[in-house]
Structure 1
Amino acid sequence: MSLPPAPSSTPATGPQSVFDGRMPAEPGDLRIEARGIAPVPGHHRYGGPGRLFTVWFAPNLTMTGVFTGTVGIALGLDLPTALAAVVLGTLLGAVPTAYLGTWGSRTGAGQLPLARLAFGRSVTVPGLLQWLSSVAWDALIGLFGGDALARLCGWPFWLGVLLMMLGQGSLGVLGYEAIHRLQKLMTFVLAAAFVALAFRLPDSVHTAAGSAHGADRAGAFILTSTIALSLALSWAPYASDFSRYLPQNTSRPRMFWYTLLGVSVSFVAVQSLGLWGAAVFTDQTARGVDRLLGGGVLGALGLLAVALAALCSNAMNDYSGSLALQTIGLRVPRPVAAAIAAVLGFPLVLWMHAADTTARFQNVLLFVGYWIPGFVAVVAVDWFARGRRGEPVDPTTESVRTRSGRPALVAFCAAFAAAVPFMNTGLYTGPVASALHGADLAYYVAFLTALVVYAPLRLRRHRTPHST
C-alpha cells in the first residue's frame, strides 16, 4: 500500500498548544516530554526499528501473564492443549498490534490521535474506553507489582501499591524516551529473572491429565485462546504511540516483525510459565513466587523482578492513557494526564484485592478488551481505503472536528452489540457462549461485524463526500 508522506506541520492550535510541547531529541534524552497528541515533525524523528522489540518485550514479563497462563489448567485442559491455545491466541492478538505499530513512523502520530481520521468527533467513544482501559490495566498489573513490593519490604499491601503507582506515574510523566530506555534495560534483567524462576519449577510442575472432555474441552480451549488473545490485542490501541518518533523512512516490515516478536515471544513465555507451574501460582502470585524460590535472597530478587515488571508495563499504560485523554478533547498537559491515570489506578487495585482476586481479575481482563476488535477493524479499513485512494493519513490535514464520523461509530457500536451473546466472564455469560460450553468468541465476532458493517459505509462516504 502506497501512502502520501505525512506533513510535519503542527496542529492549527499553534506551537504553544497544550497538545504540542517539548520532544526528546535523541536516544537518552530523559527530560520530561511535553509533546501530546500533535504529530512529531520529521526533523525530530530518531531511532531504529530494533527499539520496538524491547519496548514490546519487557512490559509483558509480568505476573499478570503468568497468572493468565494458569487459567487453561484451571479450566481442565491438559498442558499441551492449553499451550496450543495460548500460542494461537497470542499470535492472533499480536498481528494487529504489530500492524498498527507501523503507522507511527509513517505519520508521527499516536494510535488514538490517528483514529480521528476514521471516527472524527466520535473518537470520544473509543478514546474514553482506551483511557478507562489504561486505568484498568494499571490495576491488573499493579495488583501483583504492589503485592510483590509490599512483601519484599515488609509493608502493608496498600503502601506497596501506592509506591508502585508513584514510580510508574513518574515514568509516564517523563514520557517516550524514558520508557524506551527502561524497557531496553529491563528486557535483559527481567528475562534473566523469569528464566531463574522457570528453573525452580521442575519439582512443582503440572503434569496431570486434563479433566475437560468433549465439548467442554473445546469450549475451554477457545476461552483460553481468547484470554491469551486479549492480552496481546490489548496493546493495539497503544501501538503507534511507541513508534511515532521513528524516522519516516524506517522499514515497515522490520517494524512489524520486531513488534510481533516482542509481543508474542514474551507473552507465550510467561503464560507457558503459568501453565507449567499452575499448581504453585495461586491468587497471591507474589507469595507463590517467594515460596517457589525458597525465600531468602533468591526470593527477594524474584519479588523485585515482579515489581519492576509491573513498573515497566504500567508506565506504558499511563503514557498511552495520557494521549487518549487529550484525544477526547481535554486540554490537559500530557505529563499531568499521565499522572492522573496512575492516581486512579490505586483505588481499583485495592478493590480487586479486597475479595475474590481470581474472579475480579478475569472479569476486568476480558471487559477492558471487548471494544478493541471493533476499533481495530474500523481504523484498518479506513487506513486501507486511504492508501488505495492516495488520501492523506495525518489528522492535521482534515477537519476532523467538524466531521461526525458516524459510519465508524455505527460499525463500532454494532460490533460490540453483536459480541454480547458470545461473551463469557464471571459477571456475564452470553447465551451463545453457554450453548458452546463456555467458548468465548466475542472478539472474533466483534472484528468481523465491524469489518462487514464499516467497509460499505466507508465506500459510501466517498461516493457522497459531504454526507457526513
Structure 2
Amino acid sequence: MTTASAERDRSASLGLSSIEARSIDYVPESERHGRVADQGPFWFLGNFQFFTIAIGFVGPSMGLSLGYTALAAVIGILFGTLFMAFHASQGAELGLPQMIQSRAQFGYRGVTLVLLGTLVTFLGFNVVDVVLVSGGLHGIFGWNATVVGLVLTVTATLLAIYGHDWLHRIFKLCFIACLPLYTILTIAILTGHAGGTTPTLGGFSWVAFVGQIAASASYNITYAPYVSDYSRYLPRNTRPASIIMAVMFGASSSAIWLIILGAWLATRMGASDGLVALHDAGNAILPGFGALMALGSISAMIATMGLNAYSCMLTVLTGVDAFFPLRPTRSARIVTLVILAVAWTWISLLCPDNAIDLLFATLTIMLYLLVPWTAVNLVDYFLVRRGHYAITNLFIPGGIYGNWEWRGIAAYVLGFLATVPFFVLPGLYTGPIAKALGGVDIGWLVGLIVAGAAYALMSRSIDLQAEKAAIVQSEADLRTLPLHEALPEEMALPVG
C-alpha cells in the first residue's frame, strides 16, 4: 500500500475523508473537476464584501471627490486585475499551487524569498478582516470584539481545512445571498432612498488620485499569488483566454462596484467604517435591512478569510518543503492552519482601532512586496518558457530549475529596491523621490517595470533547449500516474 493510500484510509477512519486530499502536490487529470463557469462568481464574491467598500474611503479621506475616486478605482482595479487574471490560466495548465510553480523562476529553495512576501499578504488580509469585522459588529450591535474575532477565525480555519471544493461551494452560496442585497442598496442610492446628504464639493490632487489608484490596483494584485490555487482543478485543455476573461470580469466588476459604493458612503454619509456605513444605509431603506446587509457582507468576508488561510497554508508548506521534505498530508494542513489561525488572531488583538490607516498601510506594503514577483512570474510564463515546464522537476531539490535560481532572485531584489525611493507609507516612511513628487506613489509601477525588464534581460541566458528533454520525460511520468496518485511522494523522485 502506498503512503498516500495509507493516509486516505487513516483519514476515513477518523471521519476526515471529506477534507481535500491535495495541498502542494500535483492535481492529476483524473481529478480535474473544476468549471470555468465557476471562476467568475468565485472571484466576484471574493471582492463582494465591506473590505472592498473600505478601499473607496481612501480617496475621500485625502480630499478626493466622488467622481475622481470612482475614476481612480476603475483604473486601479482594471490594471491590478489584469495581472491576477493572467496568473489564473497557469493553474489549469500546470495543476499546481502558484508558489510551487514559482520554483521554476526562483529555485526550489530560492522561492522562500517570495514566500515571505506572500505570507505577509495572507496573514495581513486576515488580520485586517478580523479588526474590521470585530470593530464593526461591536459598533453596530455592541458584541464583544474578542469573541467575534474568535468565531471568525474558527469558521475561516474550518473552511480552509476542508479546502478547495468547500470554498467553492460556500462562495457560491454567499454570492447568491449577497447579490440581491447590494443590488437593492445600489438602486436605493441611485433613487435617493438610502439617506445621505449633499456633500461639499470634493477636490482633486495627484497624491490622492494616484493613492486611490495604488490602493485599488494592490487590492487585486494581491490575489495574484494564489489565484492559481483555485483554478488548478480545471481540465488541462481549458482555453487560457476563457479562464482569464472569467476571472477578469468577476474580480474587477465587484471591486469597482463596491469601491464606488464606498466612495459614495464616505462623501455622502461621512463614513469611516464600512460595516457601520452599510448598516446605516440599509436601515435608511427599511428598518432591519441594515442588519441584513451587514451580516451578508460578513458572510462573504468570512469565506474570503478561509481563502486567505487556505493559500497561506500552501505557502507555509511550500516553504517548509524547500528545506525539510514533507508529505502533504491532511494532518500537515490541519496543524499548519491551526498555527496560522493563532498567529493572525493574536496580531489582530494587538492592532489599533483605526483600521483605515492600517488597511491602507497593509495594502501598500503588500503591493511593494508582490509586484516584483508577479512581473518575474508572468514574464517567465508567457514570454520566456511560454507555459512549458517539467512539472516533476518542480518537486526535485537541485533539479533542472536548481535550488537558488539567481535570475529570478536578482530581478525580484532589483525590482523591490527600485521601489524604495518611491515608498509612500504615511506615518512610517516616504522615499526621497516620492517627496520630490509631492507624495505621489508610483513605486509599485517602478517595481513592476524594473523586475520584469531585468528578468526578461537575464533570462536570455536560459538554455531552453536543455529543458526540453526534462519536459518530455515529465509529461510521460505524469501520464503514467496511477489513479488518485500524485506528486510528490508517490513518484519516488531522486533527491540530488
TM-score computed with the length of structure 1 as normaliser: 0.87
Preserved CA contact (<8 Å) 2:54 2:273: no
Residue of structure 2 equivalent to 1:317: 308
Q: Which runs of 5+ in 1 are unaligned?
A: 1-13, 23-28
Equivalent residues in 2 for 1:261-276, closer than 5 Å:
261-276=249-264
Preserved CA contact (<8 Å) 1:135 1:321: yes
Preserved CA contact (<8 Å) 2:75 2:213: yes
Preserved CA contact (<8 Å) 1:223 1:438: no
Preserved CA contact (<8 Å) 2:380 2:386: no
SS in 1 for 2:110: helix
Residue of structure 1 equivalent to 2:181: 193
Following TM superposition, by how much is the alpha carbon of 1:290 offset from its aligned partner in structure 2, in angstroms?
Answer: 2.4
Q: Which runs of 5+ in 2 are unaligned?
A: 10-15, 468-496
Per-residue displacement from partner, 1:160-180 (whole Å, max 9, x unpaired)? 111011111110111000011
Q: 2:90 aligns with which of 103, 107, 116?
A: 103
Residue of structure 1 equivalent to 2:62: 75
Preserved CA contact (<8 Å) 1:49 1:251: no
Per-residue displacement from partner, 1:269-324 (whole Å, max 9, x unpaired)? 11010111114363433233323333852222122113212112111100111111
* Distance (Å, rounded) in 1 between the aligned partners of 2:165 and 2:446: 37
Following TM superposition, by how much is the alpha carbon of 1:441 offset from its aligned partner in structure 2, in angstroms?
Answer: 0.6
**2:396 paired with 1:382:** no
Following TM superposition, by how much is the alpha carbon of 1:185 offset from its aligned partner in structure 2, in angstroms?
Answer: 1.4
Could you say if the C-alpha distance between residues 390 and 306 of structure 1 is closer, same or farther in structure 2, counting changes exceeding 3 Å? closer
Could you say if the C-alpha distance between residues 197 and 340 of structure 1 is closer, same or farther in structure 2, counting changes exceeding 3 Å? farther
Per-residue displacement from partner, 1:402-421 (whole Å, max 9, x unpaired)? 43112111111111110011
Residue of structure 1 equivalent to 2:356: 358
User: What CA RMSD, in Å, does the superposition of the two structures yield over aligned residues?
Assistant: 2.7
Could you say if the C-alpha distance between residues 464 and 387 of structure 1 is closer, same or farther in structure 2, counting changes exceeding 3 Å? closer
SS in 1 for 2:102: helix
Following TM superposition, by how much is the alpha carbon of 1:223 offset from its aligned partner in structure 2, in angstroms?
Answer: 1.3
Equivalent residues in 2 for 1:116-127, closer than 5 Å:
116-120=103-107, 121-127=109-115
* Distance (Å, rounded) in 1 between the aligned partners of 2:466 and 2:377: 18
Could you say if the C-alpha distance between residues 400 and 248 of structure 1 is closer, same or farther in structure 2, counting changes exceeding 3 Å? farther
Equivalent residues in 2 for 1:209-288, closer than 5 Å:
209-212=201-204, 217-279=205-267, 280=269, 282-288=271-277
Could you say if the C-alpha distance between residues 168 and 383 of structure 1 is closer, same or farther in structure 2, counting changes exceeding 3 Å? same
Residue of structure 2 equivalent to 1:289: 278
Residue of structure 2 equivalent to 1:440: 441
Following TM superposition, by how much is the alpha carbon of 1:73 offset from its aligned partner in structure 2, in angstroms?
Answer: 1.6
Q: How many pairs align? A: 441
Could you say if the C-alpha distance between residues 56 and 281 of structure 1 is closer, same or farther in structure 2, counting changes exceeding 3 Å? farther
Preserved CA contact (<8 Å) 1:61 1:270: yes
Following TM superposition, by how much is the alpha carbon of 1:336 offset from its aligned partner in structure 2, in angstroms?
Answer: 2.9
Following TM superposition, by how much is the alpha carbon of 1:195 offset from its aligned partner in structure 2, in angstroms?
Answer: 2.4
Could you say if the C-alpha distance between residues 388 and 463 of structure 1 is closer, same or farther in structure 2, counting changes exceeding 3 Å? closer
* Distance (Å, rounded) in 1 between the aligned partners of 2:353 and 2:58: 18
SS in 2 for 1:371: helix
Equivalent residues in 2 for 1:32-51, closer than 5 Å:
32-51=19-38
* Distance (Å, rounded) in 1 between the aligned partners of 2:199 and 2:98: 42
Could you say if the C-alpha distance between residues 224 and 257 of structure 1 is closer, same or farther in structure 2, counting changes exceeding 3 Å? same
**2:430 paired with 1:429:** yes
TM-score computed with the length of structure 2 as normaliser: 0.82
* Distance (Å, rounded) in 1 between the aligned partners of 2:200 and 2:341: 41
* Distance (Å, rounded) in 1 between the aligned partners of 2:70 and 2:392: 41
Residue of structure 2 equivalent to 1:405: 405
Percent sequence identity is: 26
SS in 2 for 1:47: coil
Following TM superposition, by how much is the alpha carbon of 1:391 offset from its aligned partner in structure 2, in angstroms?
Answer: 4.9
Following TM superposition, by how much is the alpha carbon of 1:148 offset from its aligned partner in structure 2, in angstroms?
Answer: 4.4
* Distance (Å, rounded) in 2 between the aligned partners of 1:334 and 1:104: 20
- The structure with more radius of gyration: 2
* Distance (Å, rounded) in 2 between the aligned partners of 1:90 and 1:118: 26
Could you say if the C-alpha distance between residues 455 and 32 of structure 1 is closer, same or farther in structure 2, counting changes exceeding 3 Å? same
Residue of structure 2 equivalent to 1:461: 462
Could you say if the C-alpha distance between residues 436 and 205 of structure 1 is closer, same or farther in structure 2, counting changes exceeding 3 Å? farther
Following TM superposition, by how much is the alpha carbon of 1:459 offset from its aligned partner in structure 2, in angstroms?
Answer: 1.7
* Distance (Å, rounded) in 2 between the aligned partners of 1:147 and 1:239: 29
Per-residue displacement from partner, 1:183-238 (whole Å, max 9, x unpaired)? 111112122222233345433166432233xxxx1232111111100001110001
SS in 2 for 1:122: coil
Could you say if the C-alpha distance between residues 182 and 234 of structure 1 is closer, same or farther in structure 2, counting changes exceeding 3 Å? same
**2:341 paired with 1:329:** no
Preserved CA contact (<8 Å) 2:50 2:298: no
* Distance (Å, rounded) in 2 between the aligned partners of 1:361 and 1:275: 15
Per-residue displacement from partner, 1:359-385 (whole Å, max 9, x unpaired)? 222111211221111101111122235
* Distance (Å, rounded) in 1 between the aligned partners of 2:337 and 2:249: 27
* Distance (Å, rounded) in 2 between the aligned partners of 1:369 and 1:34: 32
Preserved CA contact (<8 Å) 1:105 1:245: yes
Could you say if the C-alpha distance between residues 267 and 241 of structure 1 is closer, same or farther in structure 2, counting changes exceeding 3 Å? same
Following TM superposition, by how much is the alpha carbon of 1:444 offset from its aligned partner in structure 2, in angstroms?
Answer: 0.7
Residue of structure 1 equivalent to 2:490: none
**2:106 paired with 1:85:** no
Residue of structure 1 equivalent to 2:290: 299
Output the amino acid matched with 1:287.
Answer: V
